[in-house]
C-alpha cells in the first residue's frame, strides 16, 4: 500500500510539473510573440524606407553617370555609395520586420512543438537584439565615415575641395540619420525577457541529475 501511495504521489507530481512547465513555455512564447508583433511595424517602416531610398538613388545616379558627362565622377561615386547601402539592407535585412509573422507560422499545438517553437523564438529574439545593437555600434559609424571619406577624396581629386567636403558631410549626415533612426526595440525586449525569465534556456532541458546538501555532507542522484 505504501509503495502504491508513493507511486501515485510521484506520478501526480510529475503530471503537475509537466503542466506547469508547459504553461511556462506557452507564457514565454506569448511574451516573445507580443514583443515581435509590437516592434514589427516600426522595423518595416525603417527597413523598407531606407531600402527604397537607396534603391532609387542608385538608379537615378547610375543613369546620370551613364547618360550625362556633367559631374560624371561624382555621380559614379554617389551611385556606388548608394548601391553599397542598398546591398547591405538586402543581404542583411532587419530581421525584426518579419519575426512576428514568421514565429506565428511555426506550429505549437503539442508540447514538443511548443518546446521547439520557444527555442526558435528565443534564438530569434537574441539574434534581433544583436543585430540592432551592432547597427548602433561604433564600427558602423567608422565604416560609414570610411566609405564617405573615400568617396569624398575621389570627388575632391576630380572636382575640387568644396565638392569633396560637401560629399563627405552630406554622406555622413545621411548615414548618421540612418544609424540613429534604426529601431532598438529588440534590445529592450531581450533584456526584459532575460530579466523576467532568468535561466530560461537552462530550465528548458530535462534535469538529469541533482546535488543537494545533507547533515553529513552532500547527496547526489539522477532522475530518469
99: CB partners within 8 A, 6+ apart: 36, 39, 40, 124, 125, 128
Picking from 199, 185, 184, the residue whose alpha carbon sits closest to that of residue 122 is 199
Picking from 177, 90, 95, the residue whose alpha carbon sits closest to that of residue 130 is 95
Given the C-alpha cell 528565443, which residue does it identify?
A: 122
Rounded Cα–Cα distance for residues 16 and 21 (Å): 8
DSSP 73-136: HHHHHHHHHHHHHHHHHHHS--GGGTHHHHHHTS--SSHHHHHHHHHHHHHHHHHHHHHHHHHT
pLDDT of residue 1: 52
- The pTM of this model reads 0.76
Picking from 147, 146, 127, 139, the residue whose alpha carbon sits closest to that of residue 189 is 127
Rounded Cα–Cα distance for residues 23 and 2 (Å): 31
Domain spans of the chain, in order of start: 2-136+182-222
Rounded Cα–Cα distance for residues 56 and 59 (Å): 5
Rounded Cα–Cα distance for residues 41 and 87 (Å): 22
pLDDT of residue 69: 81
Q: For each of the chain's 224 residues, which pLDDT tens digit applies?
A: 544 444 444 444 444 445 558 789 999 999 999 999 999 999 999 999 999 999 999 999 999 999 988 888 999 999 999 999 999 999 999 999 999 999 999 999 999 999 999 999 999 999 999 999 999 999 999 999 999 999 999 999 998 999 999 999 999 999 999 999 999 999 999 999 999 997 545 433 444 433 434 334 443 444 33
Amino acid at each position: 500500500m505504501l509503495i502504491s501511495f508513493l507511486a501515485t504521489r510521484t506520478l501526480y507530481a510529475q503530471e503537475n510539473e509537466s503542466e506547469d512547465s508547459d504553461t511556462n513555455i506557452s507564457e514565454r512564447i506569448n511574451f516573445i510573440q507580443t514583443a515581435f508583433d509590437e516592434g514589427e511595424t516600426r522595423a518595416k517602416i525603417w527597413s523598407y524606407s531606407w531600402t527604397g531610398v537607396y534603391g532609387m538613388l542608385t538608379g537615378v545616379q547610375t543613369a546620370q553617370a551613364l547618360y550625362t558627362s556633367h559631374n560624371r565622377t561624382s555621380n559614379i561615386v554617389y551611385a556606388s555609395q548608394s548601391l553599397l547601402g542598398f546591398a547591405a539592407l538586402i543581404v542583411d535585412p532587419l530581421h525584426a520586420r518579419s519575426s512576428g509573422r514568421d514565429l506565428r507560422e511555426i506550429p505549437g499545438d503539442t508540447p514538443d512543438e511548443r518546446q521547439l517553437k520557444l527555442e526558435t523564438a528565443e534564438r530569434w529574439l537574441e539574434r534581433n537584439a544583436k543585430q540592432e545593437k551592432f547597427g548602433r555600434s561604433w564600427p558602423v559609424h567608422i565604416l560609414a565615415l570610411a566609405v564617405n571619406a573615400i568617396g569624398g577624396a575621389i570627388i575632391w581629386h576630380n572636382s575640387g575641395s568644396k565638392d569633396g567636403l560637401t560629399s563627405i558631410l552630406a554622406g555622413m549626415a545621411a548615414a548618421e540619420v540612418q544609424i540613429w533612426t534604426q529601431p532598438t526595440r529588440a534590445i529592450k525586449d531581450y533584456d526584459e525577457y532575460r530579466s523576467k525569465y532568468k535561466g530560461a534556456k537552462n530550465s528548458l532541458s530535462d534535469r538529469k541529475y541533482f546535488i543537494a546538501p545533507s547533515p553529513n555532507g552532500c547527496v547526489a542522484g539522477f532522475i530518469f
